[in-house]
Structure 1
């Protein structure tokens, strides 16, 4: 019995020892778990505290969320739509989805007397955004976008309507969140194009209309270049860009030296050259002129997005330097120009009523919606730049969660630029130009110069979301616009014309 009791005591001691050992191991494991949890909380806190650039959204925890595709650490986001636009114009412009307002015909043209109606699917678009994080502070984004507004000689409406895909945007963006610094290289919207927030090359604040030429007073261009911008706090951005330069000359399209151009200002001096056409193999269409610019366009912009409670506000201002260039009598000549402008987007009533304001002044012809030329030339080769004033205002009423009602008014006005050599007028808007034939159908072209002084427009429309769900979004809209084209006064008077335009649109967003 004593032996049995002694054995039982030893067994109890062993069990107690084992329990104590297990408790010690459990405590050690618990300490390791607590330590890992602290590390995880520290990493999450650092991630939340790190500022993210305004130009992209942070990647979700699951990089393959709904609507995205992942490939080798890259997140792909697809966008675009399938579009059908219906077009009616009271004056025949022989134009597709974009109304070329500066070519609305005067009564001198037969086109003035009959309308045009057509359908087009060419505003259909496809885009892809590729994003990746190199490290915790470096974000890369590549963006590409195409539509079908290209038109080769074979792209006719007789049988196949085989219109060409064309590059709209193709750019690389590098963001450093630790420095608040951003870089962009490639083709994108010009820096002077109005934006929705901050400095965003993809999120422009364009009028929400159907017409591809948008509204007079809205300035924009897509072109290749380099851009850098800096975050200054959470509300202010400062940017600068160098972009591809091009000058649109009026009456000065001289393809090669020794070939004079005949325009409303008479015969230009054959020793004057303002542009060239590309030779074979240059990858330029030989029907398009390339101006003689020797320095890029330079733009600076400041953007401010203050926090005003539930109200959204975006304010921006920009300045643009351009140099115009020609060669005359075996010597080069340049003309430096400066332009400026700004834009405001404001929520007047949160999620109900929005205001858009646009304004600019300077040598901005190629950026206009009409479009206007940038400059003309005198007979002696003097460059005469056209100073433009552009302004537009829009109101967008979100009547219901699915229905928008909008209205815009805008204008683009040129200041005359001309010079006379003896009794021969040269330039743009010269009062000696012959306008006597502008009011008579089929009168000779030489009797209707009619340089455009101003283009103005009012427009209104509705846009409705018919369906939105897991199968995409289906939208439809209709708009009406009334546009006037007013000419400078010349011999015989100041001709004017107008156009009533109705457009409809059905658009499916599969992404």
Structure 2
């Protein structure tokens, strides 16, 4: 009996031990569950904080500090890239055209002018430039970019060369770009190079494949402008892009200040009808210079462009073609008159020898006066208010030899040629390139201005130069160059003959790139 009781007592103690162990295990399990719940709460709190820190759709994502590339500045998810240079240009011209770093070829004087016999020498720092590109990602597929660029080629009345040389900063480019990588679609709004300006690859919204010369007026045959407007372009495969733009329209009429109502003008042509109006002068407070005319255009310029960048192994090739629609406009005898024009052109950049020899070709034809380097007018007017558009043919060819990694040697040849357009009223001449205009005084110094009209027919130029990298390192890049150009200005034949003139131009340049 005692044995049975002892056995029962031992069994009871065993059951108690098992119960105790189970309770201990439950307690540990509960403790672990509490820890898991606590960690889960912490995780949810961290996620909530991060969610609050993340940008709403349509804003920039914060980029990690380590993602900022060298030479760039990153701030709140926006990457800033600075560019530009400090420049000093030396200028010598055999004919004095009283111009700065850009040679206005249409003002090379004939023998009739005193300045035909006077050379021109000056220094200028006005090609110095500053730019900034701001970029960020709104989401993985949407890229935003803002670009601004200024130089010092502005010249208000206070910009005297006598003492202070206080030339004005001016807006070259200022634009916003939106790119959708998933759609291959791009959009630009603001001021940029016109779509008919040549690019070096694809549709370049900020740069231009200009002849690499020192003269700010470039080479005749290079067509370009910078205009405010809207642009959209689409990637069609990896090699082809198609673009369209609407841009601010302006018309440069022959004679410059074509009269407004009640202000007839007498020039090489007869007296224009006082009821003709083609432009206006901005009043005070209009934010236009009161000395500059604004033409009466009522629709913007429309441009379409196709660009092709085929893959040819180590060779780079870029081919593009464009077409431009412009409407010219005037008001005469109480009625509006319009004249629709079409122009076209293209550009080729090709590596003939990879990284050694480059070819640049430019060509265009149409009503392109204000886009030319001469520059030509866009149109003349008849005595009855008829708009007389001027057709321009322009072409340039250039070779750039990268002789060493630091030295470039270049040469260009270009021309811009106008087709005459005129209308006479009896024996009174009107228009541009009229053979009845008086040119008799163009060949003799100090003859009356009315005896030398000499409408420019063609401008030709050959240019050659070198550009060397003197230093490139942690403190930026220092470059220097020198170039020579020979330019001819040829006039239409008139009474007394067809005058012509020329200019020998030498330019030097030292340029420091701090970025």
Partner of 1:434: 438
Partner of 1:129: 133
> Is 1:338 equivalent to 2:342 in the alignment?
yes
Q: Distance in 1 between matches of 2:359 and 2:230?
A: 31
User: Are the counterparts in 1 of residues 193 and 207 from structure 2 also a CA contact under 8 Å?
Assistant: no
User: Are the counterparts in 2 of residues 252 and 377 from structure 1 also a CA contact under 8 Å?
Assistant: no
> Is 1:92 equivalent to 2:132 in the alignment?
no
Residue 136 of structure 1 deviates from its aligned partner by 0.3
2:152 alignment partner, SS class? strand
1:105 alignment partner, SS class? coil
1:484 alignment partner, SS class? strand
From the CA coordinates, give the structure whose radius of gyration is larger.
2
Q: Distance in 2 between matches of 1:254 and 1:495?
A: 25
1:437 alignment partner, SS class? helix
Residue 60 of structure 1 deviates from its aligned partner by 10
Partner of 1:458: 462
1:144 alignment partner, SS class? strand
> Is 1:279 equivalent to 2:276 in the alignment?
no
TM-score w.r.t. the length of structure 2 is 0.87
Which residue of the other structure, out of 142, 155, 161, is the alignment partner of 2:146?
142
> Is 1:472 equivalent to 2:476 in the alignment?
yes
Residue 266 of structure 1 deviates from its aligned partner by 1.9
Q: Distance in 2 between matches of 1:452 and 1:63?
A: 56
TM-score w.r.t. the length of structure 1 is 0.88
Superposed CA deviations along residues 293-325 of structure 1, whole A, max 9, x for unmatched, are: 000000000000000000000000000000000
User: Are the counterparts in 1 of residues 85 and 513 from structure 2 also a CA contact under 8 Å?
Assistant: yes
With 253-262 and 421-430 compared, the bigger mean Cα shift is at: 253-262
User: Are the counterparts in 1 of residues 260 and 276 from structure 2 also a CA contact under 8 Å?
Assistant: no
User: Are the counterparts in 1 of residues 202 and 308 from structure 2 also a CA contact under 8 Å?
Assistant: yes
Q: Distance in 2 between matches of 1:372 and 1:273?
A: 20
> Is 1:358 equivalent to 2:372 in the alignment?
no
Partner of 2:167: 163
Which residue of the other structure, out of 193, 197, 200, is the alignment partner of 1:189?
193
Partner of 1:221: 225
Q: Distance in 2 between matches of 1:286 and 1:501?
A: 33
> Is 1:67 equivalent to 2:74 in the alignment?
no
Partner of 1:376: 380
Superposed CA RMSD: 1.0
Structure 1 residue runs of 5 or longer lacking an equivalent are: 1-58
- Which segments of structure 1 move beyond 6 Å, counting only runs of 4 or more? none
Partner of 1:315: 319
Q: Distance in 2 between matches of 1:378 and 1:345?
A: 41
> Is 1:506 equivalent to 2:489 in the alignment?
no
Structure 2 residue runs of 5 or longer lacking an equivalent are: 1-62
Q: Distance in 2 between matches of 1:139 and 1:117?
A: 47
> Is 1:241 equivalent to 2:249 in the alignment?
no
Partner of 2:272: 268
User: Are the counterparts in 1 of residues 259 and 276 from structure 2 also a CA contact under 8 Å?
Assistant: no
Partner of 2:36: none
Q: Distance in 2 between matches of 1:201 and 1:388?
A: 26
Partner of 1:292: 296
Residue 255 of structure 1 deviates from its aligned partner by 5.0
Q: Distance in 2 between matches of 1:62 and 1:264?
A: 68
